[in-house]
Structure 1
Amino acid sequence: MKKISFRTFGLKRIDTYIIKKFLGTYFFSIVLILSISVVFDITEKLDNFVSHNAPLKAIVLDYYLNFIPFYMNMFSPLFTFIAVIFFTSKMATNTEIIAILSSGVSFRRLMLPYMISAAVIATISFTLGGFVIPHGTKKMLDFEDKYVRQIKQSNATNLQMEVAKGVIMYIGRFEVSNNTGYQFSLEKFEGKTLASRLTAETITWDSLYSWKISNYLQRDFNGMREQITKGISKDTTIMVQPEEFYITAAEAPQMSIVKLGSYLKRQRERGVGNIKLFEDDYYKRFSMPLAAFIMTLIGVSLSSRKVRGGMGLHLGVGLALSAIYILFSAMSTSFSVNGSMSAFAAVWIPNVVFLLVGIYLYNTAPK
């Protein structure tokens, strides 16, 4: 059986050398920082684990097994940048970059193995962020809620949403302990005209979309006429379930990219406006993988030149740019949450700005 190697795909020995160096440095740095993060997290939460009698199996499998991919994905753009700068600076210091360019390899061609490595990292990041981490985050948050601190809400207040086209539901307070809502109203509109209004003291969830209302008053409007119906108890169908009342921004990471997209679509149809954090999380699932290419472009362009100060100078500049990128992302997210700009723009502006920086550095890099 013929052995498959990088050269099978038309890559040269220098390409395989750079790819192995890039990915090796990336995974080594990620493992190192995650090991330190786990140690610090254990130190911080050890008292909670002991006081709540958290079993060792749950700590390892439910918490830290999901903690690792979550933070690996979070740190991915930063350590992509650091990995590129670290080993490329070393190559430049050893005049390897000069030798490669002098042999007739163009700077553009030199970027190929870097971009292949970035594609590998971007694919891993997208898969983790879109499908793997959401499932693990749910387990991690359930563990924290049980053994560290209470996260889940026990009631919700002032709930208002469009449960169907032209049908607005309002609940003053809903308690999860008995699946009962208080101060309920359901209004149906035909265009801009109110067609009916149903009010009740309580509404209790039965199953699926089946609800039971108690002490209700139904008012149906027909032009200038009004028909009033009263009753003690009545079963009705409302296209909403209690779990939708307790979805907070902290639960956005628990949804897969497909589920999160469907949730956003449904909330927009219902007229729910407070979904900025969900939109921010959704768009980041796409922007973060692409950040690997941008950070790689900046890293190679910045560290491929041999300068006095060598690797230390490149790492210093690289860390400064990384800090600016993180700060920029945090500021744009806050603008989005405050309503100053759309979530889409807030997530993508840092990438666009740093892409322009990368293109500038690429054009000025020694060829």
Structure 2
Amino acid sequence: MKILDWYILKRYLLTFVMMLLLFIPIGITVNLAEKIGKILENNVPFWEVAVYYLNFTIYFANLLFPIFLFLSVIWFTSKLANNTEIVAFLSSGVSFSRFLRPYIIGATIISIFAMVLGFYLAPIASQGFNEFTYKYLKSARHQQPGQNIFRQINDTDFIYVSSFDVAQKRGYNFTLEHIEKNELKYKIFANSIVYSEKDSTYKLFNYYKRTITDNGDIIENSRRKDTVFSFDLEDLTPVNYIAETKPYSELVDFIDKEKARGSSNIGRYEVVKYKKWSLPVAVFILTIIAVSVSSIKRRGGMGVNLAFGITTAMVYVFFDKVFGVLAEQSDFSPLIAVWLPNVVFGILAVYLLYNAKR
């Protein structure tokens, strides 16, 4: 049986890798054809383009991971069925559960890969991918992802900017209020605030500070002031993809900090967190569905199995995206939104596996 296990496991992993190698270059080609005009227009250095497409490869693979896996299992299992190899295996006295074992081993290997990808590699790639997009590929009118950004930094400090330019790291109409025991102690205002990466300081233009004391107000103002604040640049930037750029441990800390501040984007952040766990589980569910469907030799051959596989994968992605958006933009539980597709398709997997055994 070790020969059978190795034979199926090798086909499982090789077909999955080949599916990645087949579709990722297609994705790169389509993306490059769409973006080449802006890349040339902005005179983007070749090295940055190369790094961008390396990040794009990881980002693209992580995004369409379930489809690649499902289609690869459907493909090679259908070939086994059409060549009557599965019939020969089962006729030799091998139970369907025993036949399924190398698939589960392969799914375990792929799920570990999915966890490494989602926990560590994908966040790094997502940050590079999105930063390149905003720096070179977005037009000026798309550089500001949000307006009227209000954040509570800690128990006493509150900041506000009317808008933030991601490319220039510049916020407009900046305000910081320091409140103790429901009393305003001082207030800082500036027409604009710019973050300097070189020395990690903030430059305030048309700076104005009002300090309230028992003896009257103290006013301080200047055309420009360089200073250091206790908040980070990300506190000024309502970047939608910020959760995608953080490794898991940092993401958990970030969500806890945002909850303490009363952020309105908690749902979006928690969807990203729960997906890091749901995807490895989905590997097993989709593998079982694919094997259960494609292990039977059908009159229509591989075409019928592939059609079912593509349809099922698209439905899974559709459910995943719809419930994800629902959790991000409403009070719908992110935990339920992320895990509901796995629950529904898990029930389908059990049903199909039961019928396949029969």
TM bucket, shorter chain = 0.7 to 0.9
- 2:301 equivalent in structure 1: 310
Is 1:140 matched up with 2:133?
no
Backbone CA RMSD of aligned residues: 3.0
Distance 1:163 1:245 in 2: 10
Is 1:106 matched up with 2:95?
yes
How far is the alpha carbon of 1:94 from its aligned partner?
A: 2.2
Greater mean deviation of Cα atoms: 129-138 or 152-161: 152-161
How far is the alpha carbon of 1:313 from its aligned partner?
A: 1.4
How far is the alpha carbon of 1:183 from its aligned partner?
A: 5.6
Give 5+ residue unaligned stretches, structure 1: 1-10, 221-225
- 1:93 equivalent in structure 2: 82
Structure 1 residues 174 and 247, CA, compared in 2 at 3 Å: closer, same or farther? closer
- 1:6 equivalent in structure 2: none
Is 1:332 matched up with 2:302?
no
Which of 53, 75, 85 is the matching residue for 1:64?
Answer: 53
Distance 2:169 2:35 in 1: 32
Structure 1 residues 119 and 163, CA, compared in 2 at 3 Å: closer, same or farther? same
Distance 2:121 2:169 in 1: 33
Distance 1:149 1:186 in 2: 33
* Residue aligned with 1:240, SS: coil
- 1:7 equivalent in structure 2: none
* 1:74-223 aligned within 5 A: 74-150=63-139, 153=143, 157-165=147-155, 167-173=156-162, 182=173, 184-188=175-179, 190=181, 194-202=182-190, 214-219=207-212
Structure 1 residues 122 and 107, CA, compared in 2 at 3 Å: closer, same or farther? same
How far is the alpha carbon of 1:350 from its aligned partner?
A: 0.6
How far is the alpha carbon of 1:272 from its aligned partner?
A: 1.0
How far is the alpha carbon of 1:40 from its aligned partner?
A: 1.4
* 1:253-264 aligned within 5 A: 253-264=244-255
Structure 1 residues 38 and 276, CA, compared in 2 at 3 Å: closer, same or farther? same
| TM-score for the superposition, normalised by structure 2 | 0.85
- 1:246 equivalent in structure 2: 237
Greater mean deviation of Cα atoms: 267-276 or 352-361: 267-276
Instruction: Output one character per residue of 1:62-121: Cα deviation in whole Å (capped at 9) or x when no partner.
Output: 111111121112222112111111111221222222222222222112221101111111
- 2:286 equivalent in structure 1: 295
Instruction: Output one character per residue of 1:261-306: Cα deviation in whole Å (capped at 9) or x when no partner.
Output: 2211110011112232222222212212221111001111111122
The answer to whether the Cα contact below 8 Å between 1:217 and 1:228 also exists between their aligned partners in 2 is no
Which of 222, 230, 237 is the matching residue for 2:218?
Answer: 230
| TM-score for the superposition, normalised by structure 1 | 0.83
How far is the alpha carbon of 1:361 from its aligned partner?
A: 0.7
Distance 2:19 2:90 in 1: 28
Instruction: Output one character per residue of 1:190-239: Cα deviation in whole Å (capped at 9) or x when no partner.
Output: 4xxx244432333967976999895433457xxxxx77542316999853
The answer to whether the Cα contact below 8 Å between 1:86 and 1:311 also exists between their aligned partners in 2 is yes
Which of 243, 261, 265 is the matching residue for 1:270?
Answer: 261
* Residue aligned with 1:170, SS: strand
* Residue aligned with 2:357, SS: coil
- 2:353 equivalent in structure 1: 362
Distance 2:169 2:60 in 1: 36
Which of 2, 13, 18 is the matching residue for 2:3?
Answer: 13
The answer to whether the Cα contact below 8 Å between 1:137 and 1:254 also exists between their aligned partners in 2 is yes
Distance 1:217 1:109 in 2: 75
* Residue aligned with 2:64, SS: helix
Distance 1:246 1:342 in 2: 25
Structure 1 residues 258 and 306, CA, compared in 2 at 3 Å: closer, same or farther? same
* Residue aligned with 1:54, SS: coil
How far is the alpha carbon of 1:36 from its aligned partner?
A: 1.3
Distance 1:36 1:357 in 2: 31
What letter is aligned with 1:272? S
How far is the alpha carbon of 1:181 from its aligned partner?
A: 6.1
Distance 1:44 1:169 in 2: 42
Instruction: Output one character per residue of 1:14-45: Cα deviation in whole Å (capped at 9) or x when no partner.
Output: 00000111111111111111121112122112
What letter is aligned with 2:154? A
Distance 2:73 2:260 in 1: 44
Structure 1 residues 105 and 130, CA, compared in 2 at 3 Å: closer, same or farther? same
* Residue aligned with 2:121, SS: helix
Distance 2:91 2:268 in 1: 50
Distance 2:169 2:66 in 1: 45
What letter is aligned with 1:160? F
The answer to whether the Cα contact below 8 Å between 2:177 and 2:187 also exists between their aligned partners in 1 is yes
